[in-house]
Structure 1
Amino acid sequence: MGRGVSKNRWVILAMAMLLFMAASDTGFGENVYDWNFKPAKNNQPPTTEPHYIELLDRYDGYFIGDTDTKNIYLTFDSGYENGCTDVILDVLKEKGVPAAFFVTGYYFEREVDLIKRMDDEGHIVGNHSWNHPSFPDLNDEEVISELAKVEKAFKTLTGKKMNYLRPPRGTFNERTMKIAKEEGYQHIFWSFAYVDWDPDAQKGKTYAYDRIMDRVHPGAVLLLHSVSKDNAAALGDVIDELKAEGYQFQSLDHLTGRRFPLLDQ
């Protein structure tokens, strides 16, 4: 077999794998989607798949805000603790910036003081499931249980309800989005992310700063992971520079229209 034919086979296999990742299948005979967006150059807003937009519209989800205004929505996925969340909260408090933290059951079992601090300091605490499974792999009752266990723990701690969900692993389908809406949740996806979630593969403050500043855009929903020391180190400089460029940091409640808090910028 010639080298050209072999190369073509690998291209076909790679394309097939990409299609599988974008819409694989569960034991329920359903498509499974992995959230993705298509970055643009020169700090322009990204796009995503048309059928993702249709699902977001149908089930009141968001991945980006108004792209004509310089608002930023800062969100953190918090699956477990790595000693960085207090540092991040210190920076947010110093800069007067709101954020959303999507937490798992780990925090209610081991880091309840951090949950209390997030809430006490005015940040949104969102549902990231109790055990971080892929929701499309679960049946309806299991999805509801994953949401309800986090919700119950948060309500017991704070007396408050949760409104926002970030699906664990970024996987979803119409069934799981429908369940979440019926349980009172809005999906919050993202229009910016980078490879920051591996504590053993951190590349330094400057790397994190450059990745964020290269892709930030009006209406951005930034996804950062709170386990990243790089994010914790770069966050203050990112906030200062974006404010200098005219951006305002807003709450997810501003994005969704639940309420419009006045922020000291």
Structure 2
Amino acid sequence: MTLGRGRSAAGVALVAGALWLALGVTHPTPAAAVGVSRLTARTNTPTSTLNLRTCAATTCPAVRSIPHRTVLTLTAATGDWFKTSYGGRTGWVHSRYTVLRGTPARTVSRGPTSRRMVSYTFDAGSDLGHTGAILDFLAAEGIPASFGLTGRWAEAHPTTVRRIADDGHHLVNHTWDHGSFTGFSTGRAALTPARRTEQLVRTNNLVLRLTGTSTRPYFRPPYGDHDRGVLRDVGANRFGTNVMWSVDSLGWKGLTAAKICSRVVGSMAAASSGGNGYIILFHVGSASADAQALPCITDTLRDRGFTFGTVPQVLSP
């Protein structure tokens, strides 16, 4: 389409918008994007250049060609796309052709074995389940714990999220919707850097808004799926600690409370240093009997001389 010399910028935008609508093409609105800060990437297009487009879709016009290994400052993420500026123009680049820059996250699954302390961690991503009973138990026993929250769960249960924080528990970013970052456990493609960024930042923004507390720098990967690329991307987003676990209760698989107790305390008894520094994975959902197993596990561990702390407390030297 050829535009007349006297066509205004607003007119161009209207004509372009009408064309996209006529073609049945829709694009994310700016409000759908998640703003990011202190995030940079290097372009990764060894045999070509990367297009800077006017919006977050391959159907949008390219306004600049960005050479291989160019360092870009990123300001927003939506879907597979990052917003950035280059050559005096602001637009969107496909994040598949970028490599986020920063210090990769370190993976932890156990704290120092010199101290007889363990950490209870509870993942929350399905239903509200037994969260109330778990919080009541922890409060009665004076146990601080860590909770891995998905954004969708936090959005659905804001009052409970506030209680978790008000009760002094530690909050871990468990992504927005519990999608595997690598695709290993779900049989899907790995998420692009922009999608990983959006999952992390959107969740953190919500938790921060609800509680006044950031989930940085703690991240727990859905299904435990992570690789070098995931560690690079979450680290670049300032989630420097990838929280795994020493033992999974397997309550989510339908084990009875008695079997959960036996599994957890038995695993610790068989481990080096008797399980000192263990990070124990539980779930809050109604499908799990983890809540019912807590009294047995706690009594047994206290009899063995254990104390309890959050993940940061257990990881501290």
TM over 0.5: yes
Deviation at 1:77, TM superposition (A): 1.3
Within the candidate set 206, 229, 232, 2:291 is matched to 232
Asked if structure 2 preserves the Cα contact closer than 8 Å seen for 1:191 and 1:220, the reply is yes
Greater Cα radius of gyration, structure 1 or 2 = 2
User: Given the two structures, how large is their TM-score scaled by the length of structure 2?
Assistant: 0.59
The aligned counterpart of 1:78 is 124
Q: Which runs of 5+ in 2 are unaligned?
A: 1-102, 183-189, 269-274
Structure ranking higher in helix proportion: 1
Quick check: 1:188 aligned with 2:243? yes
**Distance of 1:155 and 1:254 partners within structure 2:** 21
**Distance of 2:179 and 2:310 partners within structure 1:** 27
Q: Which runs of 5+ in 1 are unaligned?
A: 1-56, 261-265
The aligned counterpart of 1:248 is 307
* Counterpart secondary structure, 1:132: coil
**Distance of 1:108 and 1:249 partners within structure 2:** 25
Asked if structure 2 preserves the Cα contact closer than 8 Å seen for 1:64 and 1:221, the reply is yes
Counterparts in 2 of 1:71-150, with a 5 A limit? 71-136=117-182, 137-150=190-203
Counterparts in 2 of 1:1-265, with a 5 A limit? 59-136=105-182, 137-163=190-216, 164-185=218-239, 186-198=241-253, 202-216=254-268, 217-227=275-285, 228-257=287-316
Asked if structure 1 preserves the Cα contact closer than 8 Å seen for 2:249 and 2:280, the reply is no
Task: State the structure with bigger RCO (CA 8 A, min sep 6), 1 or 2.
Answer: 1
AA in 1 matched with 2:238: G
- After superposition, give the CA deviation of every residue in 1:60-102 in whole Å (9 maximum; x if it has no partner): 3311111232110111111122421111111100000011110
- After superposition, give the CA deviation of every residue in 1:143-170 in whole Å (9 maximum; x if it has no partner): 0000011001011112221121101121
Deviation at 1:235, TM superposition (A): 0.4
Structure ranking higher in strand proportion: 2
Identity among equivalent pairs (%): 27
Deviation at 1:118, TM superposition (A): 0.5
Asked if structure 1 preserves the Cα contact closer than 8 Å seen for 2:277 and 2:315, the reply is no
Asked if structure 2 preserves the Cα contact closer than 8 Å seen for 1:144 and 1:179, the reply is yes
**Distance of 2:112 and 2:227 partners within structure 1:** 25
The aligned counterpart of 2:59 is none
Pairwise CA RMSD: 1.8
Asked if structure 1 preserves the Cα contact closer than 8 Å seen for 2:118 and 2:277, the reply is yes
User: Given the two structures, how large is their TM-score scaled by the length of structure 1?
Assistant: 0.71
